[in-house]
């Protein structure tokens, strides 16, 4: 986009108010640092959500994290969360700390985005399970730093909150199939969409219960992915606010932080701007006449092209 076109969209031309005239940023180290920080601040909010598969009969952390595949219904659920992105060389999307150089954390990840946020799902079944790491410490490195974890529980047993203990584990969203699952035949997608699932949330003791899953819900497979994704993102936002408050800080969204940085640059330019001729008084305020201002100059739009 041509910068001259953009500046004309921001100005109410013809505007004779001298305070509305764009002012260039000074070319100095302070401005370069401020612009660099602004460039590194994302435009949207970023979320990373853990996804774990518990196979029939599994209740221990090591065996659950060691899974590198799941059921067909679990696979369809992952598809409903977002799209697969190739991690190696990935620069265009948020990967939430997953390796993008040597496939250390797997070749692919599930990713979703909208106009306000980007979400990466740390799916343990998409990460490698090397024999030399029976405790899956590589997977735990990511899951343990996620505030929210989605548990696809096919164990047939209750899932305890501390099954996968972690310092930052605030909420577990548990999904359990209701009744037997018929995953055979060519109509498995239809069977998944029509099947009912029980979804509920577990909260850390010191965290308030939030979101739509503080009490159990029965949800069809057709609506499960979008509902769980929205709930997980909402819980993640609240968990970030909760964690910042506990730490004695104030939560700030990326959009608000960018606005703060822009305002700081603006205030610095205004503070260092030389005083306008005739600004001490005289003439009709607001008209520009009698303030040392040439109306023809003010109406000359070619200055911005």
Integer Cα distance of 80 and 68 in angstroms: 19
Structure tokens at 202: 């577990």
Residue 15 has pLDDT above 80, yes or no: no
What's the mean pLDDT when you consider all of the chain? Answer: 86
Per-residue pLDDT, averaged over 268-291, amounts to: 58
pLDDT of residue 290: 43
Radius of gyration of the chain (CA): 27
Annotated domain spans of the chain? 45-246
Residues linked to residue 217 through DSSP beta bridges, in sequence order: 199
45-246 topology per CATH: Rossmann fold (3.40.50)
Sequence-ordered alpha helix ranges (H) in the chain: 3-10, 29-40, 61-65, 72-81, 137-143, 188-194, 221-246, 254-272, 295-298
What is the predicted pLDDT for the residue at 74?
A: 96
Residue 239: name the closest of 202, 193, 269 by CA.
202
Q: What tens digit of pLDDT does each residue of 99-108 get?
A: 999 999 999 9
In this predicted structure, what is the pLDDT of residue 169? 93
Please state the rounded mean pLDDT for residues 281-296.
49
Angle at 107 between CA 118 and CA 228, to 5 degrees: 40
Query: C-alpha angle with apex 10: 7 to 16, nearest 5 degrees?
Result: 95
| 132-172 tens-digit pLDDT | 988 999 999 999 999 999 999 999 999 999 999 998 999 99
Rounded to two decimals, the pTM is 0.81
> What local confidence, expressed as pLDDT, does residue 13 receive?
63
Peptide bond into 149 cis (omega under 30): no
pLDDT computed for residue 73 by the predictor? 94
In whole angstroms, give the CA distance from residue 123 to residue 212.
23
Q: What percent of the chain has pLDDT over 90?
A: 61
């Amino acid at each position: 986009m041509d910068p001259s076109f953009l500046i004309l969209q921001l100005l109410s031309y013809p505007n004779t108010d001298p305070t509305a005239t764009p002012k260039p940023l000074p070319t100095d180290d302070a401005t370069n640092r401020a612009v660099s920080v602004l460039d590194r601040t994302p435009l949207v909010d970023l979320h990373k959500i853990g996804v774990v598969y518990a196979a029939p009969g599994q209740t221990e952390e090591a065996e659950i994290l060691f899974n590198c595949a799941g059921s067909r219904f679990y696979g369809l659920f992952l598809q409903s969360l977002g799209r697969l992105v190739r991690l190696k060389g990935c620069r265009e999307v948020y990967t939430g700390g997953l390796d993008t150089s040597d496939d250390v954390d797997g070749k692919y990840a599930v990713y979703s985005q909208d106009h306000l946020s980007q979400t990466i799902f740390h799916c343990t079944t998409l990460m490698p399970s090397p024999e030399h790491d029976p405790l899956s410490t590589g997977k735990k490195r990511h899951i343990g730093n996620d505030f929210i974890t989605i548990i696809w529980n096919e164990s047939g047993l209750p899932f305890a909150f501390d099954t996968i203990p972690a310092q930052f584990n605030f909420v577990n969203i548990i999904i359990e199939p209701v009744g037997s699952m018929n995953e055979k035949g060519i109509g498995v997608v239809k069977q998944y969409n029509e099947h009912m699932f029980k979804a509920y949330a577990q909260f850390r003791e010191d965290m308030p219960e939030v979101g739509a899953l503080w009490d159990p819900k029965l949800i069809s497979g057709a609506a499960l992915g979008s509902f769980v994704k929205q709930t997980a993102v909402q819980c993640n936002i609240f968990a970030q606010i909760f964690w910042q408050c506990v730490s004695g800080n104030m939560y700030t969204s990326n959009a608000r932080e960018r606005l703060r940085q822009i305002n700081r640059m603006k205030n610095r330019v205004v503070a260092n701007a030389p005083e306008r001729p005739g600004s001490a008084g005289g003439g009709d305020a607001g008209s520009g006449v009698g303030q040392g201002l040439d109306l023809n100059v003010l109406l000359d739009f070619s200055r911005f092209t």
